[in-house]
Structure 1
Amino acid sequence: MAMKNPVHPGKIIKHDCIEALGLNVTDAAEALGVARTTLSRVINEKASVSPEMAIRVSKAFGGTPEHWLRMQLAYDMVQIRDQMDRIHVKRLHASEISQASS
């Protein structure tokens, strides 16, 4: 069974928190103690929910900071999975690491 792509937490903040309370972005940003542009970038999915923003959102709208951060991580992981083939790294082994530090 295919897993549904997670939603960016900014979309949830926009629809289920800000709009549900009849707030505009300016008023919500003021309540959160952040710049309007900062909140706008998050709710328009241009920026991630940071740990600090997660605390602010949880205090203002509910949920735990960990909940908001897990949502962001789930979203980010789906986004990066599409790029996994383009990420090339050399696999390191313990013996190589200990030799490099000597």
Structure 2
Amino acid sequence: MVMFDPPHPGETLREDVLPALGISIAELARRLGFARETLSRIIHGRAPISPDLAVRLERAGIGRARTWLGVQIDYDLRQAERRPQPPIEPFARLSLG
């Protein structure tokens, strides 16, 4: 079931992962080999989780890369749906199978 307003994956890192591990953003960044500033932007919802970060989180034992990217995609799609879009003229039904 798709949530109506999915959270940014950084929110999960900030509210669930960091407290569970008992570490700071700086320590998580160091252990993942990631720039602290970049990780901070992600954790505060100002940047997306990249495939590289998703793989590093998985290798660190913090979820699966595909799950992190799926959460990011859900968030990104919801943000796109909320933005004004130009009028789109639908094509006739295509059979792509």
Q: TM-score range by the shorter chain?
A: 0.7 to 0.9
Change (3 A) 1:62 1:3: closer
How far does residue 21 in structure 1 lie from its aligned partner after superposition?
A: 1.0
Matches within 5 A, 1:40-79: 40-79=40-79
TM-score (structure 1 length as normaliser): 0.77
CA distance in 1, matches of 2:23, 2:3: 33
Which residue number corresponds to residue 17 of structure 2?
17
Q: Which consecutive unaligned segments of at least 5 residues does structure 1 have?
A: 94-102
If you compute each CA radius of gyration, which structure gives the higher value, 1 or 2? 1
Identity of matched residues, %: 36
Give the helix-richer structure, 1 or 2: 1
Q: Which consecutive unaligned segments of at least 5 residues does structure 2 have?
A: 92-97
Aligned length: 90
TM-score (structure 2 length as normaliser): 0.81
How far does residue 72 in structure 1 lie from its aligned partner after superposition?
A: 0.2
Change (3 A) 1:4 1:92: closer
Structure 1 segments of 4 or more deviating over 2 A?
86-93
SS at match of 1:88: coil
Which residue number corresponds to residue 32 of structure 2?
32
SS at match of 2:21: coil
